Amino acid sequence: MKRMLNKTASRALALIAAAVVLTAAALSTAGCAGTPAVKREAGKSYSLTVLHTNDHHGTVLPNGGQGGLAERATYIAGVRAADANVLLLDAGDINTGSALSNMFKGEIDINAYNLMKYDAVAFGNHEFDNDLALIEKQIAQAEFPWLSANVTRADGKYLDQAYIVKNYDGFRVGVFGLTTLRTLTIASPDKSLKFADEIATATAMVEKLRTKEKCDLVIAVAHLGLVEETAGQVTSEKLAAAVPGIDLIIDGHSHTALTEVKYVGSTPIVSANEWGKFVGEGRFEIVDGTVKAFAWKPVQINKKDAVTFAPDAAVAAMIAPYKEKADLTLKEVVAETSALFEFGDRLSRKKEIALGDMVNDGAMWYVKEVLKKDADFAFTNGGNIRAELPAGKITREQITTVLPFDNWIYLTKMKGSDVIKLFEFIASIPQGAGAFAQVSAEARYTIDYTNDIKKGELKDLTIKGKPVDPDAVYTFVTNDYLMGGGDGYAVLKNNVEAYNTSTTLRDVIIAYAQYKKILEPMTDGRITIVGGMTF
């Protein structure tokens, strides 16, 4: 009972805090209080088409024949030509992905979104992989507002905007943004930024949009996800259950590929997978300011063997000089692979994969052979690995796409007792979460999910073939993001010594690939899963 009272008290405090945030930031928000209701004809049916994307992750060009910014633009232009009332939204994570996008810090992507005339984009957690100066530059470059009602600056003002209000013939729409609080753990937001509770913020936003802005429809672009990565995480389903009055939640973060609307009560939730492979297309029918019907479908932007949408000329022309400049360095061949290094449905977050083995073995090689240092094992978070490596010749661009983050590798020392705690934490991570570890050959262990499929139990841990000695000191290789407690790795703060090699993991693996010349995908059972898989 005491624990339940604490949760209730925490939620009440969060509601108060959110109300304060909304009041303090009101001047920086689109729209104004007391707006008169929109004019409409009684009994007349009006319609609105909502197009949406999420988790773009810098996929400028088609990936495996799917997606592509220029191709997406053609589809959107076609919908606009057929329908007068179109609202174009994105649920966040424009940044961090392909080498081409990363090289120009998202500039290409934002230019394309400008050309497509996006109405608004939510701040995703990967927008906070960058420092505040770059975020400010991207805000200035964008001809659309970036939305997040629960992220504010040190002075209480919104980072850009909390919401927008759009007037159409016969109805008014309010759109507000939310950014997952997981951002504080899985990204590196500037310390001056404040993140408020998602549910408390949404409750206040719905009230504001309904009462003060007189909105008939309220839409949330919610970078929250539909997969619970950690206990207590607010997902879009939890948001829908807790906050009445939202007519549509457009989800991002979990890359979920929905084929039909997911309803929680009467609230529809939609998501368009990832990388621009799909655009969600929803259609509202509105009578007397009330939603009478909603239909939705995901539209695939081309297939490997079928091009339905040709590249838009203006977007393609904008991309071309960036690609030409990037190709000068990114197209250099650095190695070959004997077969495909699979990635699939983000398998690096679920089990041992050859790509994870290669990355960590490569980090160990670099430390030993290049830095001439000793280390007992290496590990990285599976979410750090972002794509497959195809069979054949491998370029810098392809390795950069696999490892898009500018993560420095660290040499770290920690007592054996804390190393055990580290692997106990690793075992407890739900399959599918970005924190799920990939390790080098020196570490071997079992994760037993027999008792709880969402929280495994560590068994049979060995380092270099021996059980971990709690009193010994171990040296290991990881990245700066995890060293800072990212992805929940707070145990790493118990290190007794840490050394930044000032080399990115990406550059290390490029060097390793050049040294190996031929990379062979294989696994050796260093991670054993018992008790079932979640996929």
Q: Output the DSSP codes for 239-302.
A: HHHH-TT-SEEEEESS--B-SSPEEETTEEEE-B-STTSEEEEEEEEEETTEEEEEEEEEEE--
User: Taking all residues of the chain, what is their mean pLDDT, rounded to a whole number?
Assistant: 92
Kindly list the distances between the CA atom of residue 502 and the CA atoms of 410, 487, 495, in Å, as whole numbers in the listed order.
8, 21, 18
Q: Exposure pattern of 34-66 as b/e (b: 16+ CB <10 Å)?
A: eeeebebeeeeebebbbbbbbbbbbbbbbbeeb
Q: Which of 17-21, 103-107, 123-127, 262-266 has the lowest mean pLDDT?
A: 17-21
Beta bridge partners of 392: 337
Contact 371, 501 (CB under 8 A): yes
CA nearest neighbour of 420 among 355, 362, 353, 491: 491
CA distance 519 to 505: 17
Instruction: Enter the pTM of the model.
Output: 0.78
Comparison of pLDDT for 501 and 335, the residue scoring more: 335
CA nearest neighbour of 253 among 232, 273, 277: 273
As a whole-number percent, the residues of the chain with pLDDT over 90 amount to 82
The sign of the torsion formed by the CA atoms of 17, 18, 19, 25 equals positive
Contact 102, 96 (CB under 8 A): yes
Q: Cα-atom radius of gyration of the chain, to the nearest Å?
A: 24
CA distance 270 to 261: 6
Structure-token pair, residue 293:
């019907």
How do the domains of the chain map onto residue ranges? 48-322, 332-530
pLDDT value of residue 19: 45
Model pLDDT for residues 110-150, shown as the tens digit of each residue: 999 999 999 999 999 999 988 999 999 999 999 999 999 99
CA distance 471 to 396: 42
The sign of the torsion formed by the CA atoms of 399, 402, 407, 411 equals negative
pLDDT value of residue 70: 98
Model pLDDT for residues 456-510, shown as the tens digit of each residue: 999 999 999 999 999 999 999 999 999 999 999 999 999 998 888 878 899 999 9
Among 5-19, 182-196, 252-266, top mean pLDDT goes to 252-266
CATH number given to 332-530: 3.90.780.10
Model pLDDT for residues 369-420, shown as the tens digit of each residue: 998 999 999 999 999 999 999 999 999 999 999 999 888 899 999 999 999 9
Tell me the residue type at 449: Y
> 48-322 has which fold?
Purple Acid Phosphatase; chain A, domain 2 (3.60.21)
| Cα atoms in the Cβ-side hemisphere of radius 13 Å centred on 488 | 23
Structure-token pair, residue 63:
């990936």
Contact 258, 39 (CB under 8 A): no
pLDDT value of residue 143: 98
Residue 21 scores a pLDDT above 90: no
Question: Any alpha helices (H) in 89-177, and if so which ranges?
Answer: 99-103, 107-116, 132-141
Contact 107, 410 (CB under 8 A): no
Task: Please give the span between the terminal C-alpha atoms of the chain, in angstroms, as a whole number.
Answer: 35
Beta bridge partners of 178: 222
pLDDT value of residue 199: 98
pLDDT value of residue 34: 55
How many other β-carbons are positioned within 10 Å of the β-carbon of residue 488? 19
pLDDT value of residue 187: 83
